[in-house]
Amino acid sequence: MIAILDYRAGNLTSVERALRFLGFDCKVTDSHEIIRASDRIVFPGVGAAGKSMENLKLLGLDVLLRERLEAGVPILGICVGLQVLFDYSEENDTRCLGILPGSVRLFPRDMRSASGEALKIPHMGWNEVRFRGSHPVFQDIPPESEFYFVHSYYPAPTDPTQVVGEVDYGITFSTAVAHKNLVAMQFHPEKSGPPGLQILMNFCHWDGKAV
Amino acid sequence: MLSKRIIPCLDVRDGRTTKGIKFKDNIDIGDPVDMGRFYYEQGADEIVFYDITASSDKRPIMLDVVRRVAETIFIPFSVGGGIRTVADMRDVLLAGAEKVSVNSAAVLNPDIIRQGAEAFGSQCVVLGMDVKRVPVSEKIPSGYEMVINGGRTYMGIDALWWALEAERLGAGEICLNSIDADGTKTGYEIELTRLISTNVSIPVIASGGAGEPVHLADVLDEGRADAALIASMVHYGTYTIREIKQLLMDRGIKVRKTW
């Protein structure tokens, strides 16, 4: 069974629906008992870093997430579920979980595309991700696949060996990271059509072992 | 680089699409769930469902459509039409929509934008704008006025002012519909789209007037739109989404081409 962490973030059901569609048993839950009994954990998220950290602490999920990480359970972070894994987020000036070294920053103002068009914030829509390495979760993704993004803050990991995917939007930033039994991505695989579903499928079959 | 989005819009009344939609292979289906699935597989980047159900007691039918759509398509979709309160927004989002669009309710009560953004996040709140060209005046300096009731009621509100105000209140995106261009199939209103899109910092979806793929190219390029809404040109099988995207690529416009 897959536990989808319920920390009162928006739209948890879209991940649930995608996993069900792929034929996997899952449950949106904040129960420590159920989460401990699960084979893998999805840490989704739509919302602000400040409120997310507040809720995680309130529900004791910050400690539990660390415990399951140490236990070797495969964990998938999505969007804010990626962002709060780092040390710090500029959004609401938030101290985060500190599981991954690095921070989360607001996009610079006045970014421009190659053709000089002013770039909007949030970064909303489909963008091409360049995956690198041979991590099992990011296999069988057709070349030039695009993924759905919606965010105003971007991850800035300090350990380059943890970066497995990059994307360009005014700047180049890391959009997928992997560390031991943890993978996390800024885009929404549950809203990215077939290549997104492929990533979810890969995660559900992953033994949690790094390459 | 971010791709420009192509977004089919389906009008739904009492749980069925309103037009006998025909494709090239001549299937005629009225189920919005099947239609959504079809466009998802065709490469739509997002889908809009617009509920034109006249009576509010039939709203549960639409919510059921939303739930069924959410189980079968895995791209973002939004729902608009008849959204008047934050409770209406919550119903639609809980049923599985990514975004909810408010239009005349927001003109009449702008605070619904702020309330919606606070409750669900700006990324969920799309402001639908129906706009008509009018003579430039002190009250309407941009020459574009907000209208409701399908263009029958002029609101005395400048469209550019309203777009900026809605952004300030927390709208995450604007769906900009030109009532003048709507239904003409002679192209989007480029000037209006460019005016709004270059002045706000949130994404703008151009709507109204699409008849040929070149119209999308024009509004995405010269009009600086971030996305383009299409309806009859795909509903009647005149063009496929892939054909439209091919023309856009030929014009050097970045679109999503793998799915």
Question: Mind listing the pLDDT tens digit for each residue in B182-240?
Answer: 989 999 999 999 999 999 999 999 999 999 999 999 999 999 999 999 998 998 889 99
pTM of the entire predicted model: 0.94
Name the average pLDDT for chain B: 92
pLDDT attached to residue A54: 94
Q: What is the mean pLDDT of residues B160-174?
A: 97
pLDDT band at B19 (very low <50, low <70, confident <90, very high): low
Q: Given this model, what pLDDT does residue B24 score? A: 43
pLDDT tens column, B30-47: 889 999 999 999 999 999
Residue type, B32: P
Domains: count for chain B: 1
Structure confidence at residue B26 as a pLDDT band (50, 70, 90):
very low
Phi-psi region of A201 (alpha: psi -120 to 50; beta: other; left: phi over 0): alpha
Is there a catalytic annotation at residue A205? no
Domain range for B90: 5-250
The reply to whether B224 falls in a domain is: yes
User: Which among A11, A125, A196 has the least Cβ separation from residue B2?
Assistant: A125
Q: Measuring CA to CA, which residue among B208, B135, B191, B195 is closest to residue B162?
A: B195
- pLDDT value at residue B46: 98
- Host H or E run for residue A197: helix A193-205
- Give the Å distances, CA to CA, from B166 to A175, B30, B187, B200: 30, 34, 26, 10
For A47, the 3-state DSSP assignment is coil
Domain membership flag for residue B256: no
Inter-chain residue contact B70 with A14, CB threshold 8 Å: yes
- Dig out the tokens for B204 from the structure: 């703008």
Q: What residues does B129 pair with on adjacent strands?
A: B176
Which pLDDT score is estimated for B56? Answer: 75
pLDDT above 60: residue A110:
yes
- DSSP strand pairing (A94-95 vs B28-29): unpaired
Gap from A144 CA to chain B (nearest CA, Å): 7
Of A21, A125, A194, which is closest to B3 when you measure between CB atoms?
A: A125
A201 vs A12, residue with greater confidence? A201
Res A58: pLDDT: 96
Domain holding B174: CATH number?
3.20.20.70
Collapsing DSSP to helix, strand or coil, B137 comes out as: coil
For residues B55-59, average pLDDT: 79
Indicate if the pLDDT at residue A90 is higher than 90: yes
Interface test with B, best of A19, A124, A127, A169 (most B CBs within 10 A): A124
Q: Does B255 reside within a domain?
A: no
Of B72, B75, B173, the CB nearest to A191: B75
For B3, nearest residue in chain A (alpha carbons):
A126
Q: What's A2-205's CATH class?
A: alpha beta
Q: What mean pLDDT comes out for the span B138-157?
A: 95
pLDDT computed for residue A79 by the predictor: 94
Mean pLDDT score across all residues of chain A: 94
Active site residue A188: yes
Angle B118-B121-B126 (CA atoms, 0-180°, nearest 5)? 105
Q: How many of the other CB atoms lie within 10 Å of CB of A168?
A: 16
What is d(CA A197, CA A172) in angstroms, rounded to the nearest whole number? 24
Classify residue B158: in a domain, yes or no.
yes
Task: Determine the pLDDT at residue B23.
Answer: 45
| Confidence category of residue B29, pLDDT binned at 50, 70, 90 | low
Torsion, CA B77, CA B79, CA B85, CA B89, rounded to 10: -30
- Residue A46: the pLDDT is 75
